[in-house]
Chains A and B, each alone.
Chain A
Amino acid sequence: MENPIARAPAYEGKASMGDTETRSPARPRRPRKSRPKPETLVGYYRQMLLIRRFEERAARAYTEAKIGGYCHLNLGEEATVTGLMAALDPRDYLFTNYREHGYALARGIESRRVMAELYGRSTGVSKGWGGSMHLFDTGSRLLGGYGIVGGQLPLATGAALAISYRGGDEVVMCQMGDGTTNIGAFHESLNMAALWNLPIVYVVVNNGLGMGTTVAHSSAEPELHKRAAAYRMEGAQVDGSDVTAVRDAASAAVELARAESRPFLLETTSPRLRGHSVVDPARYRTAEEKDELKAADPLARFALELEEHGVLDAEARDKLDADVKAEVDDAAAFADQSPHPDVSTLFDYTYATPVAGESRRLPADPVF
């Protein structure tokens, strides 16, 4: 079978996402502050707003039992997600953890297909087989959200190895949460990537909490990007609430990986506005902490910044909000009206190369 992943035409990204007046510098440690065009900034704002409204809609659908299983949201991480994705080319590959709805949207996948996957429908990106934690899309080179903490790291490292093996100029970005830096796969992957000079950017999205455990409570070196030093790898930390700063830092890291085939460890810091998943009320947070979170909301901060600079006034913002709300409502309606996968397809995806003797037995069926 021809492998569709490496041969698939890369997704044509949104023009507004990667377009800036200044090119990113070659050295990653001191990325120059770029000055994106107003329409680029508005594009970022719309992207962040879409993630916000999409996740709010997903939370609602979850409480309505439209969405099953686990449901982890990118609320509070909109600037991080948007900035990171703006740094990637359509030809680049992305691996993420299970908190990845926003990444799929920012990679350009239709919100309808993302929501439909959350609803478990056949029109979803993974045809209803993956759910919230396992979004995958060949065309946009999102090579999976992964539900096992750290599972995506060796895989992403191997994808970078394949690029290096073929002499390609693509880059892999591998996103993870802060808690992942303590699992063995983190060490094994970063060691191999540095040893073999692989074109990969590891991104630690540090939202301060692994479920309810703080970074300080779980990591002997809580400044997570510093762990890069153990592999003679470059690392940097960036304010994950500042979309342009994230984009600049990520672009510099991606450029280093592309031009010099060297790995990079980027840490973004941002608040997780809600609990670990939809069902988590976050009782481990104090009332003061919750108030601080509201003040730290990156979307509100960005809206204010754009208004102050005369890029986007309240009226235009309201119009965008209505536009995004319509898109999200449409996505939810599409998902709700989409068919569930047909039970006759239950055995279609166990093996890519079918074999004799493969079991197609339902629970009550006899073996003979």
Chain B
Amino acid sequence: MATVTYRQALRDTLRAEMLRDEDVFLMGEEIGVFEGSYKITEGLLKEFGPRRVRDTPIAEEGFVGAAIGAAMLGLRPVVEIMTINFSLLALDQIVNHAAKIYGMFGGQCSVPMVIRTPGGGGQQLGATHSQNVELFYSFIPGLKVLAPSTPAEASSMLKAAIRDDDPVLFLENLALYNTRGEVPEELAPAEIGRAAVTREGTDITIVAYSRMAHVAAEVAEKLAADGISAEIVDLRSLRPLDRETIVASVRRTGSAVVAEDDWLTYGIGAEIAATIQEGAFDWLDAPVRRVAMAEVPLPYSKPLELAALPSADSLVTAVHDTLAATGRR
């Protein structure tokens, strides 16, 4: 078992899948000669050549659509979109084509492709480069949306995504690329659509994904020191959503806080809160609370950016407020 970064886990998995299956190839801006804006594809052009590591023009709609077309003929393209912000340029191809082709033509043609893309703010990249719009894709039947939070999950879920016959939006996060974790040598592909209870607890459930799953883990440690036992549900898959695991946890703990990096109104947390009230209404001792980004275009200024982003402190506050509302203490 090796300890590697999230970045290295992604790179190693891409390489292994390319070695395993000739139909797997990579497309995207700056992934070849430049070796990736975030160096996920480092060394792969040298090893596999330009046929399998294809630099594209700056044309998200065009190259995402081309990947869909190649997938329709049975190839397994893995597309990198530099950040999720730029996926908006490809929205028509992802939503109207990748997600629809299997159903719209009566199941005659699947689209086995992966779109890898990082989200995340906090890097002073300003309003158009700091968004978390995974919700747009999580809303669409026909797509699968995965959001691994650890190097091992990044590897097992990327394997699963590449081998899956449907279009998968694979959400990474700028803040996670340098995080480290153990990745077993022979790691099986993950089962798509399963959340994980990453920490067991009895007092409150924290539902999180991607970067916020790390924040939740940090917060749970702090809370433990104060005698509060928090359970963490890491969603891992935003579509399909593992409602059973969320609800089972809340039925055990009787309260919940959702930690999300996107905006609050209509966000991922809204769906989680609705799920909890439908599945665990009688078990709830307090309203479900959401910790989310302030509803502004994210500013460049560091103090303003920090004020807008959800943090460990904001999550701690929300947990204490929620537990106070239960009347248990």
Contacts and interface: CB of A to CB of B under 8 A. Distances in A.
B109 interface: yes
B247 interface: yes
A192 B59 contact: yes
Interface string B60-83: 011111111111111101000000
A159 B73 contact: yes
B241 interface: yes
Given A6-B74, A151-B96, A191-B57, A355 B104 contact: no
A364 to B, nearest CB: 14
Nearest to B93: A154
Given A189-B65, A368-B243, A5 B73 contact: yes
Nearest to B60: A188
Contacts of A184: 61
B25 A165 contact: yes
B109 A138 contact: yes
Nearest to B242: A357
Interface stretch (A22-30, A126-134, A301-309, A320-328): A126-134
Interface stretch (B127-135, B189-197, B204-212, B293-301): B189-197
B244 interface: yes
B108 interface: yes
Nearest to B69: A158
B166 A351 contact: yes
B279 interface: yes
A155 B69 contact: yes
B37 interface: no
Centre residue among A3, A358, A367 by max chain B CB count within 10 A: A3
A357 to B, nearest CB: 4
Nearest to B106: A127
Contact of A192 (B57, B73, B112, B241): B57
Nearest to B237: A357
B96 A355 contact: no
Centre residue among A7, A154, A156, A189 by max chain B CB count within 10 A: A154
Interface residues of B, number: 57
Nearest to B105: A136
Contacts of A368: 243, 247, 278-279
B70 A159 contact: yes
Nearest to A159: B69
B70 A7 contact: no
Contacts of A125: 106
B108 to A, nearest CB: 5
A356 B242 contact: yes
Contacts of B329: none
B142 interface: yes
B221 to A, nearest CB: 29
Interface string A152-192: 01111111111101100000000000000000110011011
B101 A144 contact: yes
Given A3-B110, A191-B57, A353-B166, A129 B240 contact: no
Interface of A: 1, 3-7, 93, 95, 124-130, 134, 136-138, 143-144, 146, 148, 151, 153-163, 165-166, 184-185, 188-189, 191-192, 195, 348-353, 355-359, 366-368
26 contacts: A3-B73, A3-B112, A5-B73, A5-B108, A129-B106, A130-B105, A134-B104, A138-B108, A144-B101, A144-B105, A148-B96, A154-B63, A155-B69, A158-B70, A159-B70, A159-B72, A165-B70, A189-B62, A192-B59, A348-B107, A350-B102, A355-B144, A356-B194, A358-B193, A359-B141, A368-B247
Interface of B: 25, 51, 56-57, 59, 61-75, 77, 92-93, 96-97, 101-112, 141-142, 144, 164-166, 191-194, 237, 240-244, 247, 275, 278-279
4 tightest A-B CB contacts, nearest first: A154-B65, A158-B69, A188-B62, A3-B74
